[in-house]
């Protein structure tokens, strides 16, 4: 594991590390998945511990630009999906209004 190289570090739970680093628990878990933060997993309990030395104050500066770009991209995608959804609702409303006319024509 990534953390094996840093045995002199202090162990923190995900929650404790998130608090200490002033970032979310989700951000810690993402760093674990990317192996960009030292960690170790207790094989008996399955609990993950984050390894921090006292010199680390914050890790969030590393991903700030990347996270901002990702947020901007996701916001743009959400805006486009909302526009597409609104267009589909308009189309459905138009078709729904035509149903009575279609049914009257079948008789």
The predicted-structure confidence for 32-42, as pLDDT tens digits, reads as follows 998 888 999 99
State the Rg of the chain over Cα: 25
pLDDT recorded at residue 104 = 75
Per-residue tokens: 64: 């700030």
Would the pTM of this model clear 0.75, i.e. be above it? no
Q: Are the C-beta atoms of residues 38 and 51 closer than 8 Å to each other?
A: yes
Task: List 50's β-bridge partners, or say none.
Answer: 12, 39
Note the pLDDT tens digit of each residue in 44-97: 999 999 998 765 544 444 566 678 788 889 999 999 999 999 999 999 999 999
Task: Assign 107 to helix, strand or coil.
Answer: coil
Position 7 scores a pLDDT of 46
Specify the pLDDT at position 77: 96
């Amino acid at each position: 594991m990534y953390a094996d190289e840093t045995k002199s570090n202090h162990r923190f739970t995900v929650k404790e590390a998130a608090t200490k680093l002033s970032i979310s628990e989700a951000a810690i878990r993402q760093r674990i998945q990317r192996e960009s933060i030292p960690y170790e997993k207790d094989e008996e309990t399955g609990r993950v511990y984050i390894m921090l030395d006292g010199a680390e104050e914050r890790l969030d500066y590393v991903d700030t630009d990347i996270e901002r770009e990702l947020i901007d991209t996701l916001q743009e995608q959400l805006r486009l999906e909302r526009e597409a959804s609104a267009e589909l609702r308009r189309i459905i409303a138009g078709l729904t209004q035509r149903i009575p006319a279609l049914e009257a024509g079948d008789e």
